[in-house]
């Protein structure tokens, strides 16, 4: 049976950025992707209707703001793109909500922009497209570093989630050189995002901010299958492990996962067994994955109860994103 769904990882690109994305996609695929990423109120809305998706949370496609090394340019672009997204949401707030794009090249500016997006624009959290390039094209800066603690404090105080999305590394990892089929979503995206998540989990971030919430797509970027082993080995060989809480405890209590682009029943069951059904969300990863395929897979699931299907389809998202309820006033931490 089809349940009206809320899809939480569906992408757009505004006209002023669209041409900069062509380099990431094979030429035969790009024209159709380009049209889909631009046509939110036409093609995406029609696809939602055909797939039983009642509402979509829109987010800027990777690498987005994170791929702009110049700090001031990143700050200015984030504000313009968030205003653009707010305009799109305002046309159909019954069908669309938004995630903020943040200039994490400057943690203080990112915190202020998140507050603006949540309280002035009504956004439901942030989509963070992996590491940030800062000042130099070949830089890769991750958010476990100390300078990001005030940003995470702001996210926690707002009580809104941050969705951690993969992106291409600045340089291709040597271990996949000559194997282009391992690039991107097939493999390297998941490795990149999972490693970034583990840096956050193991650095003590969630000791300091125990109510901070992170979402991972693609049924958790392989972590539901890997987290027990990591947790076990850290207990055996600490190697200076700084966190007080265990990796498994942080993963179970501070993370959600979505089904985006991973329409695999046994991996869904793995995520449910690891995190609990209340921490799994529906998503497709439009337009890079087929929303109709993801919806059909989900609607035909017969291995979980109808109660659990309703949770994953919509009620977990309604609770997490406070759909229809106000968000908390922020507490901005000093830098």
Indicate which residues carry an active-site annotation.
285
Of 71, 50, 7, the residue nearest 312 (C-alpha): 7
Tokens of 320: 């997490």
d(Cα 62, Cα 193) in Å, to the nearest integer? 12
d(Cα 218, Cα 221) in Å, to the nearest integer? 6
d(Cα 201, Cα 126) in Å, to the nearest integer? 18
Tell me what percent of the chain is helix, strand and coil, each rounded to the nearest 5: 50, 10, 40
Backbone angles phi, psi at 49, to 5 degrees: -60, -40
- Long-range Cβ pairs for the range 136-142 (8 Å, 24+): 136/69, 137/69, 137/170, 138/170, 138/171, 139/69, 139/170, 140/169, 140/170, 141/104, 141/105, 142/196, 142/199
DSSP annotation of 327: P
Q: In DSSP terms, which residues pair with 12 in a beta bridge?
A: 60
Measured at the CA of 133, the angle between CA 230 and CA 283, to 5 degrees, comes to: 60
d(Cα 257, Cα 150) in Å, to the nearest integer? 24
Q: How far apart are the first and last CA of the chain?
A: 50
Per-residue CA distances from 249 to 143, 225, 252, 275 (Å): 20, 15, 5, 10
d(Cα 216, Cα 195) in Å, to the nearest integer? 12
Identify the sign of the CA torsion 261, 265, 271, 277.
positive
The answer to whether the beta carbons of residues 35 and 100 sit under 8 Å apart is: no
């Amino acid at each position: 049976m089809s349940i009206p769904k809320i899809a939480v990882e569906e992408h757009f690109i505004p006209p002023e950025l669209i041409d900069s994305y062509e380099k990431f996609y094979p030429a035969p695929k790009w024209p159709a992707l380009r049209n889909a990423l631009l046509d939110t109120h036409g093609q995406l809305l029609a696809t939602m209707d055909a797939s039983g998706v009642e509402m979509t949370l829109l987010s800027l496609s990777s690498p987005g703001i994170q791929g702009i090394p110049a700090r001031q340019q990143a700050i200015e672009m984030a504000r313009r793109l968030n205003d653009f997204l707010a305009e799109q949401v305002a046309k159909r707030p019954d069908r669309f909500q938004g995630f903020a794009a943040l200039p994490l090249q400057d943690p203080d500016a990112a915190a202020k922009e998140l507050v603006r997006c949540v309280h002035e624009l009504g956004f439901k959290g942030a989509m963070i497209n992996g590491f940030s390039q800062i000042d130099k094209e070949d830089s890769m800066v991750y958010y476990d570093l100390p300078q990001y603690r005030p940003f995470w404090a702001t996210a926690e105080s707002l009580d809104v989630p941050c969705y951690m999305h993969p992106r291409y590394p600045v340089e291709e990892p040597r271990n996949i050189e000559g194997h282009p089929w391992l690039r991107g979503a097939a493999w390297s995206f998941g490795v990149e995002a999972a490693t970034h998540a583990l840096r956050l989990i193991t650095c003590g971030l969630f000791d300091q901010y125990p109510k901070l919430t992170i979402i991972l797509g693609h049924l958790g970027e392989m972590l539901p299958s890997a987290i027990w082993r990591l947790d076990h080995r850290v207990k055996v060989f600490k190697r200076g492990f700084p966190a007080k809480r265990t990796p498994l405890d942080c993963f179970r209590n501070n993370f959600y996962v979505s089904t985006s682009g991973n329409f695999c029943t046994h991996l869904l069951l793995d995520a449910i067994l690891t995190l609990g059904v209340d921490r799994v969300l529906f998503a497709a990863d439009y337009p890079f994955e087929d929303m109709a395929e993801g919806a059909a897979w989900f609607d035909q699931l017969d291995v979980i109860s109808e109660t659990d299907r309703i949770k994953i389809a919509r009620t977990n998202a309604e609770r997490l994103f406070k759909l229809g309820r106000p968000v908390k006033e922020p507490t901005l931490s000093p830098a």
